[in-house]
Amino acid sequence: MPVTAPPSPDWAPRPTDTTALDGADVIEPVQRRLPSGVRREGDLIVATIGKAIEIEVDRPFQDVVVPQPEVAEVVVLQPGKVFVATRGVGSTNLLLVDADGHVIRNIEVVVEADLDGLRRTLATMMPGSRVEVTPTQSGVVLTGQVESAAQADNAARVAAQFAGGETDDVINSLAVAGDQQVLLKVRVAEMSRTTSKFLGAQTNFDVSGLESGTILGDNLGNLLTGAMLGGSLGTGVPNTIVIDKFGIDGINFDALEEQDLIKVLAEPTLTAISGETANFLVGGEFPVPVAEDEDDRILIEFKEFGVSLSFTPVVLSDNQISLRIQTEVSRIAEEISFTTEGNILIPGLSVRRAASTVMLPSGGSLMIAGLLRDEERNSIQGTPGLMDLPILGALFRSTEFLNERTEMVVLVQAFKVRPREFGPEFSLPTDGFVPADDIDIYLFGKLYEQYGGGPGQRPRPAFTMSAPIGYMME
């Protein structure tokens, strides 16, 4: 609805003294004609984002100066009328200048976020939460308590839309009620079985009676005249190896069957606060040469191996937990290591790695990765030609069979937890352990007397011999 501002008695570039106006006769009718979210007191306009205000000017003006157009935009459609459109949170002023360069009017514009609309929206989205909204010079501040971290993040995003769309204009000081710590249990289980079979024969050939001679005496050499070859071969072909005996000295039969079984079970457990990242590593680091400097010194870089776990939990509403997980089980594998030209051994790593983002309820389990591999290889080696002979060809070839089967799964389980203030002590791996005394160690070869027991069981003191141990000599 268009708004007509009452003419001011003084058009000097200063705010109008509103105390000299009769509020009942002048201000109140204007306030009733203003749109919602707009307040006006003389030349001071306070409005929310996205409002349009019409201002009438009874003196002709030529230019309008706006120092901060990102806060308010001015449009002049006809003489004597100025339309102000609010665009962003902040404050600015409008200077109306006549043809002589004199400021005939100074209008201050303050743009605020729609706090009432923001409060209504947050109350509808999160009826069980208590959120307080406080305006600032360039944005809003959110305080109070919400049920989850996801609600706090959603509230900040909604407030940013009301504050102009910039998240930097929102100060999120919301507290999250309830348990916001997540315990993650990961299980990496793998079974690998390898079966290899080798069956073959190794034939040893006997070549004897080697001596140097001339093939066919001079007959072959006389066929090549000296005129043709310059006389170099006129007396035959000397220094030729003559085989007197050729045969099979012996045959060795090889038969081998090998079976390997590998079991890998890793169960890392880690706890983190909602929204924070936690890391866990049990293993070590090994050096790897990566380059050489100008002084021919080898530069070393360390690589991690072992059992590692990294995850970032976010507690959502409805008892749901979002997890960004990265887990790895690795070991140094000699079978894939190699040696460089400088005789430097570079270790290889056998790695099982999984990374994913999943969602599950508190106490729920989920398989995030799995593998089933069945690999089979057959190879035949032998003497060309002889290995293809019927029946006898088995004496000149070897057959190798290899079968590898691997099955692996990665399971995750998440719990919402909170610290325990009182109660019994936690169970430890060292509970119930009783070290062996001197008699058990030296006479019976025991490493411990008791291992395992009830939670919190205290180990009893070990018996120690006070006298020297050994033979008694008379």
6 has a pLDDT exceeding 80: no
Contacts of 36 (CB under 8 A, 6+ apart): none
Categorize the per-residue pLDDT at 344 as very low, low, confident or very high, splitting at 50, 70 and 90: confident
Which of residues 450 and 295 earns the better pLDDT score? 295
Domain span at residue 127 reads 115-176
Residues 319, 365, 282, 288, Cα dihedral to 10°: -110
Residue 52 tokens read as: 């349009």
The C-alpha atoms of residue 367 and residue 327 are separated, in whole angstroms, by 13
Element (H, E) at 269: strand 269-273
Q: Is residue 203 part of a domain?
A: no
55 has a pLDDT exceeding 80: yes
Mark whether 290 and 407 lie in a shared domain. yes
Mark whether 308 and 441 lie in a shared domain. no
Q: Considering 112, 138, 160, which residue would you say is the last residue of a domain?
A: 112
CATH number, position 168? 3.30.300
Mark whether 272 and 410 lie in a shared domain. yes
DSSP per position, 65-93:
E-S-TTTEEEEEEETTEEEEEE-SSEEEE
| pLDDT tens per residue across span 69-101 | 888 888 887 777 888 888 888 888 888 888 888
pLDDT for res 199: 77
284 has a pLDDT exceeding 80: yes
Phi, psi of 295 (to 5 degrees): -95, 15
Among the listed residues 92, 115, 108, the one whose alpha carbon sits nearest the alpha carbon of residue 40: 108
Mark whether 278 and 386 lie in a shared domain. yes
461 has a pLDDT exceeding 60: no
Among the listed residues 152, 128, 182, 158, the one whose alpha carbon sits nearest the alpha carbon of residue 359: 182
How many Cβ atoms from other residues are within 10 Å of residue 114's Cβ? 21
Give the chain's domain count.
4
313 has a pLDDT exceeding 70: yes
Q: Considering 64, 85, 112, which residue would you say is the last residue of a domain?
A: 112
Mark whether 395 and 269 lie in a shared domain. yes
pTM higher than 0.95: no
Mark whether 278 and 411 lie in a shared domain. yes
Phi, psi of 36 (to 5 degrees): -65, 145
CATH number, position 100? 2.60.40.1380
Strand 434-435 versus strand 211-213 pairing type = unpaired
Q: Is residue 362 part of a domain?
A: yes
Q: Is residue 70 part of a domain?
A: yes
Mean pLDDT for the chain? 75
Q: Is residue 240 part of a domain?
A: no
pLDDT for res 414: 92
Mark whether 163 and 281 lie in a shared domain. no
pLDDT for res 295: 80
Mark whether 452 and 341 lie in a shared domain. no
Q: Is residue 172 part of a domain?
A: yes
| pLDDT tens per residue across span 154-204 | 888 888 888 776 767 788 888 877 667 899 999 888 888 888 887 776 666
Mark whether 273 and 299 lie in a shared domain. yes
| pLDDT tens per residue across span 285-306 | 888 888 887 787 888 889 888 8
pLDDT for res 467: 52
Long-range contacts of 206-209 (CB under 8 A, 24+ apart): 206/245, 206/246, 206/247, 206/248, 206/249, 207/243, 207/245, 207/246, 208/244, 208/245, 209/242, 209/243, 209/244, 209/245
56, 80 contact by CB (below 8 A): yes
Mark whether 456 and 369 lie in a shared domain. no
Categorize the per-residue pLDDT at 223 as very low, low, confident or very high, splitting at 50, 70 and 90: very low
Q: Considering 112, 128, 160, which residue would you say is the last residue of a domain?
A: 112
Q: Is residue 249 part of a domain?
A: no
pLDDT for res 453: 56
Q: Is residue 425 part of a domain?
A: no
324 has a pLDDT exceeding 90: yes
Q: Please state the rounded mean pLDDT for residues 212-236.
A: 45
Mark whether 164 and 312 lie in a shared domain. no
Q: Is residue 402 part of a domain?
A: yes
Mark whether 150 and 69 lie in a shared domain. no
